[in-house]
Amino acid sequence: MAKSAITLPLLFILLTFIDVSSSASMVFNVVTFGAKPDGVTDSTAAFLKAWQGACGSVASATVVVPTGTFLLKPITFGGPCKSKLKFQVTGTVVAPTDYRSFGSSGYWILFNKVNRFSLVGGTFDARGDGFWSCRKSGQSCPPGVRSISFNSAKDVVISGVKSMNSQVSHMTLNGCTNVAVRNIRLVAPGNSPNTDGFTVQFSTGITLTGSTVQTGDDCVAIGPGTRNFLISKLACGPGHGVSIGSLAKQLNEDGVENVTLSSSVFTGTQNGVRIKSWARPSTGFVRNVFFQNLIMKNVQNPIIIDQNYCPSNLGCPTEHSGVKISQVTYKNIQGTSATQQAMKLACSKSNPCTGITLQDIKLTYNKGTPATSYCFNAVGKNLGVIQPTSCLNR
């Protein structure tokens, strides 16, 4: 009996110790694998080795990028991994200054098929100014790379990340499910070409909260196949606003539905909230969209639907869009418009926008000249005070 009384507590302690140790996160510091925090030495191989170790760990693992500046060439962090994985960045990661060294890869940092994954902290500087200069000069330039991309990822958290000076898009989600993005900053000069901030397509269950986007193109670009996307507490500007589209790039194209943007501020942007489609046939659609509780500060085109998009009048044989837009609500949108036409709902010649709701809109142009609205083939209802005067067909 005495022997049993001693053995059982010891066995309990031993089992407890094993359980705790097996659940502890394994740490893979990139410096341990040879990364140099000098901003000059190529640390790509070291980052990849640290990733491979963490991804192959049966226990939850953390890749650590400590204080310092790390030079990283194009890299793919591939999954799926064996366990839950965190990528914790304290320092700064920079891209090569020679934009031609990227070739036509399309990516700088790609997370592919990761799940139960979190990217936390850090600054990612793509140093895109040389690439922008090439584009502005009219030279023959590479296509450019997206800074941080997630392809076919699931159950992901992205928090506290700063992306600077992207060549093209700062952060892209493609084919992803259940991704929570919070407190990120995406920053590039307002005149940097095609530098979209946050881009989503073919993805579902995405949230973007408490974030700031200051860039040269769309703050948020919502592409085909996006469903159940919630954006809140976004600070946008400079930039081109929040855009659904361009859609109808392809004849057979997935639709966009269940998108909500709320409690956000637009400052000096080219557009506020926009839905845009090419003026050509498409099987696509946009439905169940809510734009609510928004403030516009000197914004061009605060509310706009443009279904006649056709740059240089090329590639639009029928001159009308097949994309069907329905059940779109604009509620409690207030502020100032930099253009007299504060509201433009220019829908397809062949497919009217239906179920449009305007509620409690107050947009002003300047003290001497009232703002105006324009509608074409837009059908819906008005609730509360609408300023400028609504032009919806009922």
Q: Could you say which DSSP state residue 21 is in?
A: H
Active site residue 240: yes
Q: Which single residue is written with the structure tokens 């022997």? A: 3
Alpha-carbon separation of residue 33 from 51, 59, 128, 188, 201 (angstroms) = 10, 19, 28, 32, 35
Partners of 27 in beta bridges: 62
Partners of 359 in beta bridges: 331, 383
CA 245 to chain centre: 13
Instruction: Identify which of 131, 205, 210 has the alpha carbon closest to the alpha carbon of residue 173.
Output: 205
In terms of DSSP bridges, do strands 69-71 and 85-89 run parallel, antiparallel, or are they unpaired?
unpaired
- Spatial neighbors of 191 by CB under 8 A, at least 6 apart, are 216
Phi, psi of 149, rounded to the nearest 5 degrees: -130, 145
DSSP string across 119-165: EE--EEE--THHHHHHHHHT-------EEEEEES-EEEEEES-EEES
- What span, in angstroms and rounded, lies between the C-alpha atoms of 390 and 363? 12
- What span, in angstroms and rounded, lies between the C-alpha atoms of 216 and 188? 7
Alpha helices in the chain (DSSP H): 2-23, 44-55, 129-137
Burial 116-129 (b: 16+ CB within 10 A, else e): bbbbeebbbbbbbe
Instruction: Identify which of 266, 262, 263 has the alpha carbon closest to the alpha carbon of residue 238.
Output: 266
- What span, in angstroms and rounded, lies between the C-alpha atoms of 26 and 54? 7
- What span, in angstroms and rounded, lies between the C-alpha atoms of 389 and 165? 40
Candidates 162, 227, 240, 320; catalytic one: 240
Phi, psi of 134, rounded to the nearest 5 degrees: -60, -45
Residues with a catalytic annotation lie at 240
